Chain A
Amino acid sequence: MANTSLNTQPIYTSSADTQWIGGATAANTTKDLTSGTAYLAFTASSTGGGYVQRMRFRALGTNVATVARVFINNGGVTGTTANNILWDEISLPAVTLSEVSALPTYELPLNFALPPGYRLFVTIATVVAAGYAITTIGGKY
């Protein structure tokens, strides 16, 4: 017998939700998010949750090569291992500031829903001078 309680209709977010980090520069090699500097990239609506579409990493100037790690947190304290999971990584090659050509933008596809109060944190693995602007594009349910 079919389960008629399943949601068979796609749902859309009710409003856009764009959040960002102004400049990530500190390094953190944690793989479980329990220590060190972590940058809060997105917090899902506490009532209906949210949908995250993508995350963009934009160098703010000259940076050495690094890697960014994205963690999902369930809304609890990050110091507890069970509250966090490493979701993905993206390499961020070295870049040199220019006033005559654009620096590259790096983008991580997300495309998943977050329950109410869930958060996305980002760490970078080497210290960088100018830092990265990290923008998350999403919506609120």
Chain B
Amino acid sequence: MNEYYLCEFEYGYEGQFYQEIFNNQVVRYADLDGNTLTLEGEYGCRIINLNPERPVWAN
């Protein structure tokens, strides 16, 4: 089952997003609505919640 970290950007982009993880590999980044984020260029981010409430759109 996928895990989710709730993260926020430090630079490059604004706002919060989920880092979706399966088997300790990053599967994708998703916005709060579950849409896949394609990150381009340089950016920084950090985890703000390691165990957030599971997103309603999560499988």
Q: What is the count of residue pairs linking A and B with beta-carbon distances less than 8 angstroms? A: 61
Q: Give B43's nearest chain A residue, CB to CB.
A: A29
Grouping DSSP codes into helix (H, G, I), strand (E, B) and loop, the A interface class, with mixed when no group exceeds half, is: loop
Residue of A27, A64, A94, A129 touching B45 (CB-CB under 8 A): A27
B24 & A127 in contact (Cβ 8 Å cutoff): no
A30 & B44 in contact (Cβ 8 Å cutoff): yes
Proximity bits, B27-59, A CB within 8 Å = 1, else 0? 000000000000001111111001000000000
B21 & A64 in contact (Cβ 8 Å cutoff): yes
Contacts of A65 in B (CB 8 A): 24-26
Contacts of A62 in B (CB 8 A): 24
Q: Give B22's nearest chain A residue, CB to CB.
A: A64
Contacts of A25 in B (CB 8 A): 46-47
Which residues of A line the B interface, CB within 8 A? Answer: 25-31, 35-37, 62-65, 94-96, 126-127, 129
